[in-house]
Amino acid sequence: MSDLPATALRVAVAADAAASAVPGSVNLLGLDREALADYCESLGEKRFRATQLFRWIHQKGVADFSQMSDLAASLRNRLEGRATTGAPRVASEQASADGTIKWLFASALSRTS
C-alpha cells in the first residue's frame, strides 16, 4: 500500500491514463466525484463544479470543455490547457474464436507502442 492519500492515488492513476493526450494534464475521465471535487478545489473552484463536470463527461458524453455551457468561461479556458477527458489508447487487441475480445491499454508507464 502506498503512503499517498487515496485522492492523490486516484489523481495519479487518472494522470497516467491521459499520457496519450496532453502531457502533464489530468484525465478527468478517470476521476471519481470526490477526486474531481478535489481537482476543482485545486483550481480555486467550488466543489459543486465537480458535479457539473461529472454530468457533462459521464452522463452527456461531452469531451469538449467549450461545450459545457453551465461552466464559467474562465473555468472552461483553464480546463482546456490542464485537463483531458480521453480514454486510454488500445495498444493491442486479441479476438478469440468464441467472440471474446481482449484489449491491452497503453499508459504512461507502458512499454508497448
Over residues 14-48, the pLDDT tens digits come to: 444 444 445 678 889 889 999 999 999 999 999 99
Residue 101 grid cell: 475480445
Instruction: Please report the pLDDT score of residue 22 as a whole number.
Output: 57
Distances (CA, A) of 46 to 75, 79, 89, 113: 11, 14, 31, 39
Instruction: Please report the pLDDT score of residue 37 as a whole number.
Output: 96
Q: Where are the beta strands (DSSP E) in the chain?
A: 26-27, 83-84, 90-95, 101-105
Q: How confident is the model at residue 81 (pLDDT cuts 50, 70, 90)?
A: confident
Whole-model pTM? 0.62
Of the CATH numbers 1.10.150.530, 3.40.50.720, 3.30.9.10, 3.40.50.11720, which one belongs to the domain with range 6-86? 1.10.150.530
